[in-house]
Structure 1
Amino acid sequence: MTQDYSINKFKPGLKVIIFNQPCIIQNSKFVKPGKGQAFSRVKFKSLISGKIVESTFKSTDRLKKANVYDIKSIYLYNDNKFWYFINSKTFEEISVKKKILNTKRFFLTPQCKCLLTIWKNSIISIILDNFVYLKVIKTTPSVQKKSLNSSGIKLATLNTGISIKVPEFIKINDVIKIDTRTCLYISRL
């Protein structure tokens, strides 16, 4: 039996089905106008595509609970078609297609911990730590001219294959902190 939620139960973190996809509610604001029916403005994120959408629901609307769950896992290796993980509880090997990982694959290093999100017996996304430390293996000359208030910026290729913009003072073999949500440089270790 599926569980339904009325709008007065909407809260951030609640996983529901919207447009036949599992979504997570990021923000919900209940509005009770002086005249007319109460409604709720909801901002939610698709767990499959990552798109953020806002919608309005009447007080009589209900949303179905999304039967999704997360598995604690450890990244092992890849063969460029599949990325292999091990379930931290059962020690079962799990393979994930490249298209599901998307750019998150560039933040995976052997033995890093992550959560695999499962819906309808299929892995739909991966949740990484917000920050990772990666080694610079190649840099290019400065792309941006130095000005009075800012230093130059250049591209750096990291040990996982991704290239990102970094300050000019970053050198080969430096270990840098990257935000996995935005793919931006944070600091040098």
Structure 2
Amino acid sequence: MAVLLDAINIKRKMTFEMDDVPYACLDSDISTPTARGGQTLVRLKMRNLLNGAVFEKSFKAGDKFKEPDLEYVPVSYLYSDGDGSHFLNQDNFETLTLNAETVGDALDLLIEGALLQLYMYNGGPIGVVLPVFVELNVEYAETGGKGDSSSGSGTKMARLETGLEIRVPLFIKEGERVRVSTETREFTGRA
């Protein structure tokens, strides 16, 4: 028998299944009524793991959801071409190919050999799970003079080896390796 989750127990980063579609909870907010007889409501901000759509919906605290048949498979990124993005399953060494819609903008953070995980739903790949941070080389960095504060924050633009452009501190130079948050896509430090 499948495990059932109450709406009130669903928290950020948990997954659940509704109408035979897997979702990831991005945020949850519980509203407890002050009047007697009112129902506790749970407002979930959730992402459809099949198509990437993000939306909010309210549920009664006692609404039940199934736990999805999700599996996380360790993979390494190989390359991308006209057929899609290719990953090597680290468990059985099979090559898995995902289309551009499934991979989304994760390619901005992936270099050859990068280790990550794939969401597998009912045996098929449906998305990528990036690590919290990635380390990338700075391919180009604007020149930032001493005391340059035209941007107001003491930062400059830099293009990373994947083509992603981010703001970095003035002391970062071309060729350096930086650490980037995959959630915010912001500089977090030198690697």
TM-score (norm 1): 0.79
Which runs of 5 or more residues in structure 2 are unaligned?
A: none
2:95 corresponds to which residue? 93
Distance change >3 Å, CA 170–CA 65, structure 1 → 2: same
Range that drifts further, 168-177 or 6-15: 6-15
Distance change >3 Å, CA 146–CA 80, structure 1 → 2: farther
1:105 corresponds to which residue? 107
1:22 corresponds to which residue? 22
RMSD: 3.0
**Cα distance in 1, alignment partners of residues 55 and 111 from structure 2:** 28
Confirm or deny that 1:115 pairs with 2:133: no
Range that drifts further, 40-49 or 5-14: 5-14
1:125 corresponds to which residue? 127
- Paired residues, number: 186
**Cα distance in 2, alignment partners of residues 80 and 175 from structure 1:** 29
Q: 1:146 aligns with which of 132, 146, 149?
A: 149
**Cα distance in 1, alignment partners of residues 125 and 12 from structure 2:** 22
1:24 aligned counterpart, secondary structure: strand
Q: What's the CA shift string for 1:98-138, capped at 9, x where partnerless?
A: 22222211211222211101224442221111111111111
Contact persistence 1:16–1:66 (CA under 8 A): yes
Please give the residue correspondences for 1:1-189 in structure 2 after superposition, counting only pairs within 5 Å.
Answer: 3-7=3-7, 9-18=9-18, 21-25=21-25, 26-27=27-28, 29=30, 31=32, 35-46=36-47, 47=49, 48-49=51-52, 51=54, 53=56, 55-59=57-61, 61-79=63-81, 81-141=83-143, 146=149, 150-151=153-154, 153-189=155-191
**Cα distance in 2, alignment partners of residues 172 and 71 from structure 1:** 34
Per-residue deviation, 1:37: 4.7
Contact persistence 1:10–1:28 (CA under 8 A): no
Identity in percent: 22
**Cα distance in 2, alignment partners of residues 42 and 73 from structure 1:** 34
Letter in 2 for 1:27: S
Range that drifts further, 88-97 or 76-85: 76-85
Per-residue deviation, 1:179: 0.8
Per-residue deviation, 1:68: 2.1
Distance change >3 Å, CA 59–CA 127, structure 1 → 2: closer
Contact persistence 1:42–1:57 (CA under 8 A): yes
